[in-house]
């Protein structure tokens, strides 16, 4: 017996769960996603979300309300007569009329170990804070930001090489598996719900532009976490003098080194930069408007010799 599901999601992270639920045999009665956004060099082209594209490829009906303030949008949702809503990175705080607009409520796939890292950027914040693990959780949604009781959890380790990009993909696949399990247990009335702890609450604020610049005046381990937590997007960056002008360089990966020196100074010709404690060797970089390159190829186009100051 299959559930009648309303799926709500927007970015690529949500697509794996949508596909997994469809493959599991559930009836996806509608897919809600954020409206197409301006794209292209002039911002004149409207681009549908990754979930929008995936839903159309699956032959599923798509709805893109700006929000649910209008009574007609709320009534249209309720009229679907769905058993449950599944929400994965939809991008909108849902009103109570939607949370209670299905027979069994709404369940969210969230990329952290709640109550740690509620909010918009849990993957990036976990890495930047030096967490040793994170995970996916399926929680029943209620009014409030990621505050509902937790049903299922899958933990994922974080090490020094983990970037937001690699962690995103691991959690995306874990989330799809977990939501399929959750819906199977919900269908049989065997889905446990455990209230979140009131202790250990942290909020994962959206990444601001003014925190993407690399400060080498911090310990090397903090610099590495900053770089990896923002890789591949929005990307951590520094500036260096090149051809008589300052050029911005994004760093997508690095490794810890023990050599020390004046902070922000290239210690060797291999892109090892001194930090407050230790140093980091930059291993994957991108010039403004250029391709992402491994360090050896990057240095052929923009060498940063020992003694160069970057900031």
Closest CA to 274 of 289, 262, 256, 286: 262
Which of these three, 180, 203, 226, is where a domain ends? 203
**273/307 Cα distance (integer angstroms):** 10
- Are 214 and 116 contained in the same domain? no
Which of these three, 152, 173, 203, is where a domain ends? 203
- Are 127 and 142 contained in the same domain? yes
User: How does pLDDT run across 242-252, given as a tens digit for each residue?
Assistant: 888 999 999 99
Q: Which two tokens stand for residue 93?
A: 């705080």
* 112 annotated ligand binder: yes
User: How does pLDDT run across 178-203, given as a tens digit for each residue?
Assistant: 999 999 999 999 999 999 999 999 99
At residue 244, the pLDDT reads: 85
For residues 216-235, average pLDDT: 98
At residue 45, the pLDDT reads: 80
At residue 43, the pLDDT reads: 61
* 38 annotated ligand binder: no
* 279 annotated ligand binder: no
Range of the domain at 291: 209-301
In this structure, is residue 307 part of a structural domain? no
Residue 44, pLDDT above cutoff 80:
no
- Are 161 and 196 contained in the same domain? yes
- Are 56 and 173 contained in the same domain? yes
- Are 71 and 41 contained in the same domain? yes
Pairing of strands 84-88, 45-47: unpaired
Residues 6+ apart with CB under 8 A from 92: 34, 67, 68
User: How does pLDDT run across 227-281, given as a tens digit for each residue?
Assistant: 999 999 999 999 999 888 999 999 999 999 999 999 999 999 999 999 999 999 9
Q: How many domains does the chain have?
A: 2
What CATH code is carried by the domain that includes residue 110?
3.40.50.170
What CATH code is carried by the domain that includes residue 276?
3.10.25.10
- Are 198 and 270 contained in the same domain? no
* 66 annotated ligand binder: no
Per-chain mean pLDDT for the chain: 96
């Amino acid at each position: 017996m299959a559930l009648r599901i309303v799926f709500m999601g927007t970015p690529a992270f949500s697509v794996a769960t949508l596909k997994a639920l469809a493959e599991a045999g559930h009836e996806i009665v509608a897919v809600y996603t954020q409206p197409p956004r301006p794209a292209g060099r002039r911002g004149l082209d409207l681009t549908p979300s990754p979930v929008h594209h995936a839903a159309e490829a699956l032959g599923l009906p798509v709805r893109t309300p700006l929000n649910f303030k209008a009574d007609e949008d709320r009534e249209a949702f309720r009229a679907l007569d769905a058993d449950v809503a599944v929400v994965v990175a939809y991008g909108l705080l849902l009103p109570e009329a939607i949370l209670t607009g299905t027979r069994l409520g709404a369940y969210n796939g969230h990329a952290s170990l709640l109550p740690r890292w509620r909010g918009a950027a849990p993957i990036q914040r976990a890495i930047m804070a030096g967490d040793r693990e994170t995970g996916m959780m399926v929680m029943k949604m209620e009014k409030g930001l990621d505050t509902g009781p937790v049903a299922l959890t899958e933990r994922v380790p974080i090490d020094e090489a983990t970037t937001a990009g690699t962690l995103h993909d691991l959690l995306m696949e874990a989330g799809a598996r977990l939501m399929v399990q959750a819906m199977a247990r919900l269908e049989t009335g065997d889905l446990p719900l455990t209230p979140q702890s009131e202790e250990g609450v942290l909020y994962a604020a959206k990444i601001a532009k003014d925190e993407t610049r690399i400060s080498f005046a911090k310990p090397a381990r903090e610099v590495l976490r900053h770089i990896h937590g923002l890789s591949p997007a929005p990307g951590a960056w520094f500036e260096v003098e090149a051809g008589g002008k300052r050029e911005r360089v994004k760093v997508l990966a690095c490794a810890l080194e023990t050599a020390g020196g004046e902070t922000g100074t290239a210690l060797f010709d291999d892109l090892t930069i001194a930090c407050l404690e230790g140093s980091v060797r930059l291993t994957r970089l991108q010039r403004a408007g250029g391709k992402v390159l491994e360090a050896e190829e990057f240095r052929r186009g923009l060498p940063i010799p020992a003694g160069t100051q970057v900031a």
